[in-house]
């Protein structure tokens, strides 16, 4: 925070309360994240991702009949129209998958029959359609990069099971589906983070929902926000490659960390602006990582995770955030590292669209002021 004689400047809007929201909050007393009042770890333990999406959009958990109708609407929207696949195919496979998601969201909006309708009912429909389509975008993109044929969606599988099926071409084991479901729930919403605030700013201009989501995807691409889960695996890869045969994981990790800190490199996957006593989502995701490490018989990855966590605690007293356990989970499942943040997109569609609709309920154009510190007024010679 810096100040002038007249104005206090809050760099990064740190500490600024921009608006109210009923969607989520971090409970400072318990250091837990709440979705519509429910602790997220309880939702992850007891609910499907579809139930949580319904909760974020409608404010309450669905009844069995409401859930059945909601699930059917999502399943009816699965798959990709030809225009979307053609747009993706025009992009080189060297394009970052987040650029593919951004492009696909824009095409989905431009071609949506309710594109110009900004009513609450239309936005709910567009939200469901985005929720249904984004897994197909991510799966289609990973498979085309591997020169594999598209796998059609299945209407008899849950959201998470179908996502994995479209990506890998076979049904995943129940424990894998459950771990993926947990990750989707934990990533679904997180109050006024950078991408959500971006979506609300765009929505405040009365632009359409797809424009707001497209902008949010752009914000999420940055490594200081959504790209951190990718960076975690890049870190693990660097440590693993530096490890000689029979080498000590602890020594290799400490050497990598010492070098990174000496060069003032930001260690991705650790620390959080909101949580002061550790990210409350981490224990739930770490439990899923432990199950995946056992399922895929990869104790080496579990050892590397624990070693890095311990080294960071000793060196900087900083705890992991959600991206730290989620990256290894997605890696074990078989997702390419560059696909990790698009998986975040598929989940956060729910939170973004909930915020867009909330913004429009009592809209006010978001237009902050700035303090000019350039040269004084002057005349053109």
For 10, left (φ over 0), alpha (ψ -120 to 50), or beta? Answer: beta
For the question of residue 89 being annotated catalytic, the response is no
CA distance linking residue 111 with residue 101, whole number of Å: 15
**Residues in the chain, overall count:** 381
Catalytic residue among 19, 96, 117, 225: 225
CA dist 257 → 288, 314, 315, 326 (Å): 26, 11, 9, 20
- Residue 170: strand, helix, or coil: coil
For the question of residue 336 being annotated catalytic, the response is no
CA distance linking residue 172 with residue 139, whole number of Å: 14
DSSP string, 308-333: HHHHHHHHH---B-THHHHHHHHHHH
Catalytic residue among 112, 190, 210, 272: 272
For the question of residue 190 being annotated catalytic, the response is no
CA distance linking residue 283 with residue 45, whole number of Å: 12
DSSP string, 242-256: HPPTT--HHHHHHHH
Catalytic residue among 112, 323, 331, 355: 323
**Residues identified as active-site:** 225, 272, 323
């Amino acid at each position: 925070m810096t100040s002038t004689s007249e104005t206090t400047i809050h760099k990064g809007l740190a500490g600024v309360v921009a608006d109210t929201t009923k969607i989520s909050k971090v409970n400072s007393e318990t250091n837990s994240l709440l979705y519509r009042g429910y602790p997220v770890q309880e939702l992850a333990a007891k609910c499907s991702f579809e139930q949580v999406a319904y909760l974020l959009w409608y404010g309450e958990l669905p009844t069995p009949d409401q859930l059945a109708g909601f699930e059917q609407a999502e399943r009816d929207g699965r798959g990709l129209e030809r225009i979307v696949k053609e747009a993706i195919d025009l992009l080189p496979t060297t394009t970052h998958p987040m650029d593919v998601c951004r492009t696909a969201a824009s095409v989905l909006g431009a071609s949506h029959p309710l594109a110009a309708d900004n009513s609450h009912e239309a936005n709910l429909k567009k939200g469901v359609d985005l929720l249904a389509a984004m897994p197909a975008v991510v799966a289609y993109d990973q498979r085309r990069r591997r020169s594999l044929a598209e796998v059609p969606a299945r209407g008899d599988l849950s959201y998470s099971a179908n996502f994995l099926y479209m990506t890998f071409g076979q049904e995943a084991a129940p424990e894998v589906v459950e771990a993926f479901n947990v990750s989707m729930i934990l990533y679904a919403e997180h109050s006024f983070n950078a991408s959500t605030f971006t979506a609300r700013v765009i929505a405040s201009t009365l632009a359409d929902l797809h424009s707001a989501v497209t902008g949010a995807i752009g914000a999420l691409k940055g490594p200081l926000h959504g790209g951190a889960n990718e960076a975690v695996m890049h870190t693990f890869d660097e440590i693993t490659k530096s490890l000689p045969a029979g080498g000590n994981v602890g020594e290799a990790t400490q050497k990598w960390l010492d070098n990174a800190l000496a060069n003032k490199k930001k260690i991705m996957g650790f620390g959080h602006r909101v949580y002061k006593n550790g990210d409350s989502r981490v224990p739930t995701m770490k439990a899923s990582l432990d199950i995946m490490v056992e399922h895929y018989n990869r104790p080496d990855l579990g050892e590397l995770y624990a070693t890095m966590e311990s080294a960071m605690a000793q060196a900087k007293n900083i705890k992991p955030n959600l991206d730290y356990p989620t990256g290894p989970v997605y890696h074990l499942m078989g997702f390419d590292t560059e696909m990790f943040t698009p998986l975040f997109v598929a989940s956060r569609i729910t939170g973004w669209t909930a915020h867009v609709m909330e913004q429009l309920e009592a809209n006010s154009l978001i237009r902050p002021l700035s303090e000019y510190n350039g040269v004084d007024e002057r005349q053109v010679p």
